[in-house]
Structure 1
C-alpha cells in the first residue's frame, strides 16, 4: 500500500527531476510513511511512498525485472501474487523479493499489455518499459485505488492524489466549471472529470499507454452479464464459496489487521468469515453516535456488539458527537475534492481509531451494489404495482399529495415520507431519468437556479451510461451505472482517502472481481425477490449470521449531519453559506442557497446532501482555490461555530 506519482516528458521543457518526484511524494507521505523511492530514465519519471504490508524488509519500490529494463511502482495489493509467482518461476522468471508487486513486472514480460487481466487485487500502478520507451499507468477493475493525471504538449503528470500534481511547476489548482455542475447534481465528481480544471481521473479497469509521444486509454475489463443457469440452492452455495474465498485471500498480511464492523450484513459476513479463517480473535472496530435525537437513528453499536459476541472478536467502539467542525478542513484536504457524502467523516474517525492497533483493515464496502441492497433498486419492483393505479388518480391525487409531504431522513416517519415522495414524483419517468432522480442531490431545475449564470450544456454521464446498456435487465443496468460512477468516485474514493489519511490499508473483499463476475451472471430476480433486498445473499448466510442481523432495517454509514446543521452546526452553516459569503465566491446564487436552508429547517424538503455538499465545497475552496492552510480554515470554522 502506498501512493504513486510521476510523469513523462514529451519535450525538454517538462523539467522532471528527482526533486520534483520527492516534492510530489512528500505531499502524500501519509499514504506511505515507511519508505520512498524514485526512478528517472529517459523521458519517464516514477516515484512512490510505501506503507509496508507484505515483505516488510524487501519490498522497496520501484521494483525491476531481471535486467532492470522494466520498472514498476504499485499502490495496493495483488491478492493472487503467490499463484502468479509460482507460474512465472516455472516459466523461467527470477524474483529478487517476496513482494506482491514484483509479479507485475514479470507478468508484463510474459504477456505485454495484457498483464493487467491476470491480476486479482486493488491497485494503481505505473510501469516503465525502457526497451519500448513505453509508460503504462493503470487502475484496478473496480477503481478501489484512485489515479489522477494531467497532460499538455510538454508533459504527462500522474499521482494517486491530485494535490501532488500541483507540487510541480506545470499547473495550479483551478475550478473546472463542468465538474462543478456535475458535483452539484451528484454530490461527487464522476470520472473522467475531477473538480480541477485540466486534471482528470483515469476510469476504472483502464490503463493509459504513453508511447512514441502518443497517449491512448485502453479498457482492459468489463463484467460479463451472460446469465448462468443454476438453481437457487446452487446460487446460494456458489455465493457463499466465493465470499469465503475472497475474504480468505485478502487476509494475507505481515502486519496486524482487523475489520470495520457496523452490525449490518456486509461487515458482519466479512467478520464471520474472517473468524472462520483466523487462529486468533478478529479485531473489530465500530462507530456510534450520541443516542439523543438523530443519533439514535444512526447508532448501530448494539448490532455491532451482537456480531462481536457471536464471533468472539476483540471489539472496540468509538462514540461521535456533533463537534466535528475542527476535522472538516483536514479531511477535505485529504479528500482532494469536495464531497456531499457524510460517510467520509465516519470512515476517517473509525480508521483513526483502528490505526492505534492495526495497519490493515477489511471493510464490507460494495455489498449493496453487488447484491441489490439499496432502496433505489426496489423502484422497478414497486413500479409494477404503482402502474396498476388508474392514471387519473396518480396524476390528480397522489402526485399533489406527495408534493406536499414533509421530508427529514433523521426522523423515522418523516424519512418514510421522504422516500414515498421521491418515488411518487418520479414514477412516470423512464428508468434512466427515474434512476437519475434517485441519485441526484438536487433536481436539474434547482441546479440551474443554484449555479451562477445558470447551466450551459453539461455532460449527462448517468443517462449516457444507461443508453449503453442495451437489453440488460433494469437491476443490472443500475449496477453497471453505479460501477462506473458512484461506487468508484464516491464510496471507494472516500474509503481510500480517509483510511490512507491515517496510514491504514483498507481491503474490500466484496469487490473481489471474481465475486463481481459471479454476481453479474446471477438473475436479477434472485438479488431482489418479493421486494426483499439482497435476497440471495441473505439466504446464503443463514448458517453464518442470525436472522435479526440478516433482516434488520438498513441504515447507511454516514453521520446525522442533516440534523446537526439544524441545531449544533447551525451557526457554522449560516456563516459559511451566508448570502454574502456565497456571492463572494461567485459560483452559486446566494439567495437560492438561503431558500434551500429555509426549506431544510422547516422540513419542507430534506436538503441534507446539497447543504453538506455546499458546506464542504466552500471549505475545500478556501484551501485548494484560495491557498489557505487547513489549520487556518479550522480556526475560522471554530470562530463561526461559537
Structure 2
C-alpha cells in the first residue's frame, strides 16, 4: 500500500529527480515508511510506501533481473502466492517476498493480459525499457484512485490529484464543466475531476504511452448476463462459499489487521468470517455520536458490541462530538475533490482511531450494492403497488405526499421523506426513477442554481444506464452504481480518509469474483417480494443472529442535516453568504438562500445539496485560493463563536 506517481515527457526531455520528490512529498501520508524512484531518460516513476507485506524486502520501485522492467504498485494483490508458485514453476526467480514482484514477472510472461489474472485492489505503473513504454492501470472496481494529467508535452499520473499540482506549469483551476454533475450527484464522476486539465483513470482501465502515442482501454466490465439455471439453494451455497473465501484471501498481511464494525450485516459478516480464519482475537473498531435524537439515530454501538461479544474480538469504540468545523478543511484537502457524502467524516474518525493499533483494516463497503440492501432498490416494487390505485386516489396521495415535511435525522420525518420520494417518482421511467433516488438535486434545479445554467448533454448516470445492458431491473441499478457512486464516492472517500492516517482499508465484499457472482444473480433471488438483501441474509444465517440480520438499516454517515440547523448554522450561512457567492461567481444567491430556508423549515431535507455547496467553497478556498487548512478552520470557528 502506498502512493505512486510519475512523469513521461513526450518530447524526450529527461525527468528531474526533484520533480518526483516534490510529488511524493505531497502524499507522504500515504507512505510514511519508505520512498523510491526510477528514472530512465524521459520517464520517471516513484512511490511512497506503507509497508504491509515483506516489510524488509518490499522496497519499490522493483525491477526484474536485467532491469528492463521496473514497477511501482499501490494496493495489494491477494492471490500473489498462487501466482508466485506458478511463475516459479516457469523458471522465474524472485528476489523479494512482496506481492508487487508477482505483477512484474506476470507482465513479462503474459504482457498486458496479466491484469486479468490479478485478484486485488491496485493501481500501478510499469516501465518497459525494452520498448520505452509506460503502462499504468487501475483495479476492476476502482478501489484505488488514479489521476492523469496530459497536456501535449507530458503524461503525468498520481494516486492523488494534489501531487500533480506540484509539477511546473500546473496550477489548480476549477473544472466548471464538472460543477453541474457534482451538484446533481454529490461527487465528481470519472473521468472528470474538479481540477481543470486533470482527469481520473476509470476503473478497470489501462493506459499506455509508447512511441509518442497515448492509448487507453477498458480490460474488464461488470457481467450483464443473468444466470437462471441455479436453484435458490445453489445460490445460497455459492454465495456463502465466496463470501468466506473473499474475506479469508484479504486477511493476508505481515502486520496486525483489524475490522470496522458497525453491527450491520456487512461489517458483521466480515468480522465473523475473519474470526473463523484467525488464531488470534480480531481487533474491531466502532464509532458512535453523542447528542440528541439525530445523533442517537446514527449510534450503532449496541449492535457492534453484540457482534464483538459473539466472536470474542478485541473491541474498541469511540463516542464523539466531532469538531466538524476544524475537520472539514483538513479532510477536504485529503479528499482532493469535494463530496456531499458525510461518510467521509465518519470514515476518517474511525480510521484515525483504529490506526492507533493497526495498519490494515477490513471494511464492509459494497454489500448493499451487490445484494440489494438500499431502499432505493425497491422503487419499482412500490411504484407497481402505487400505480394499481385508482387514478383519483393516486392524485390525492401525490398531492398530500408533496406537502410532507422531510428530515432524515428524525425517525418519523425520515420515514415521511422516503414516502415523499417514492410517491413522487412512481410514474417515472425506471431509469429516471432511480436517478431521482440517487441525485442530490435534479438537473433542472441545478440549472436554476448555477450562474450560466447547466451544460446540456449526457451525464455520468446517463452513460452508465446506456452501458448497463438488458439485465433485470435490480442488476441494472447495480451496474449503474458500480460505474458511478461506488468508485467515485464510497470507494474514493474510503481510500482518501483511511490513507490520510496511513491506514490500508480493504473491501472484501468487492472481491471481483464475488461481484461477478452477485451480478449474475436474478432479482427474484436477491430481493424476493421486496425483501432487501434476502439472499445474503439467508446465506449468513449460520453465522449471524436474526436480530443483526434484520435490524433497521442506518447509513455510515453523520447527522449533518441536524448540525446545519444547530451548531453549524453560522458556518452554513457564512460559507453561502450572498457576498461569498457573488465573489465565487458560481451560484445564484437567491436560489441558495431559498434552499437554506426550506431546509431549516423541514420543507425539504437539503442536507446533501447544502453540504455540496459548502464543501465546494471550502475546496475552493484550499485549492483555488491556496489557503492553509488550519487558517480556514480558524475562520470557520470565528463564524461559530460570533
TM-score (norm 2): 0.98
1:305 maps to 305
1:356 maps to 356
1:398 maps to 397
Shift of 1:470: 3.4
* Partners of 1:580 and 1:596 in 2: CA distance: 17
* Partners of 2:342 and 2:467 in 1: CA distance: 31
1:180 maps to 179
Shift of 1:248: 0.7
- Trace 1:27-106 onto structure 2 (pairs within 5 A): 27-106=26-105
Is the 2:284–2:316 Cα contact (8 Å) retained in structure 1?
Answer: yes
Is the 2:15–2:41 Cα contact (8 Å) retained in structure 1?
Answer: no
- Trace 1:10-409 onto structure 2 (pairs within 5 A): 10-12=10-12, 16-228=15-227, 229-394=229-394, 396-409=395-408
**Secondary structure of the equivalent of 2:237?**
helix
**Secondary structure of the equivalent of 2:458?**
coil
* Partners of 2:284 and 2:601 in 1: CA distance: 39
- Trace 1:555-566 onto structure 2 (pairs within 5 A): 555-566=554-565
1:532 maps to 531
Is the 2:383–2:423 Cα contact (8 Å) retained in structure 1?
Answer: no
- Residue segments in structure 2 that go unaligned for 5+ positions in a row: none
Shift of 1:383: 2.0
* Partners of 1:482 and 1:323 in 2: CA distance: 31
Q: Provide closer, same or farther for how the CA distance between residues 322 and 68 of structure 1 changes in structure 2, counting only shifts above 3 A.
A: closer
Structure 1 stretches (4+) deviating beyond 4 angstroms? Answer: none
- 1:485-529 per-residue CA deviation (whole Å, 9 max, x = no partner) reads 000000000000000000000000000001111111111211111
Are positions 1:485 and 2:484 aligned together? yes
1:641 maps to 640
Is the 2:464–2:484 Cα contact (8 Å) retained in structure 1?
Answer: no
1:592 maps to 591
Query: How big is the alpha-carbon RMSD for the aligned residues of Structure 1 and Structure 2?
Result: 1.1
- 1:326-382 per-residue CA deviation (whole Å, 9 max, x = no partner) reads 011110000000000000000000000000000100000000000011111111222
Are positions 1:541 and 2:556 aligned together? no
* Partners of 1:157 and 1:458 in 2: CA distance: 29
Shift of 1:433: 1.2
Is the 1:236–1:540 Cα contact (8 Å) retained in structure 2?
Answer: yes
- 1:415-434 per-residue CA deviation (whole Å, 9 max, x = no partner) reads 11111111111111111111
Q: Provide closer, same or farther for how the CA distance between residues 234 and 458 of structure 1 changes in structure 2, counting only shifts above 3 A.
A: same
Is the 1:322–1:569 Cα contact (8 Å) retained in structure 2?
Answer: no
Q: Which moved more, 1:447-456 or 1:149-158?
A: 447-456
Is the 2:272–2:543 Cα contact (8 Å) retained in structure 1?
Answer: yes
* Partners of 2:121 and 2:19 in 1: CA distance: 27
* Partners of 1:73 and 1:196 in 2: CA distance: 25
- Trace 1:396-475 onto structure 2 (pairs within 5 A): 396-475=395-474
- 1:28-85 per-residue CA deviation (whole Å, 9 max, x = no partner) reads 0000000001111132110000000000000000111121101110000000000000
Shift of 1:384: 1.8
**Secondary structure of the equivalent of 2:149?**
strand
Shift of 1:581: 1.2
* Partners of 1:248 and 1:291 in 2: CA distance: 38
Shift of 1:225: 3.1
**Secondary structure of the equivalent of 1:530?**
helix
Q: Which moved more, 1:431-440 or 1:362-371?
A: 431-440
**Secondary structure of the equivalent of 2:35?**
strand
Q: Which moved more, 1:567-576 or 1:28-37?
A: 567-576
Shift of 1:391: 3.2
2:508 maps to 509
Shift of 1:393: 3.0
Is the 1:322–1:568 Cα contact (8 Å) retained in structure 2?
Answer: no
- 1:141-181 per-residue CA deviation (whole Å, 9 max, x = no partner) reads 00000000010110001000000000001311101111111
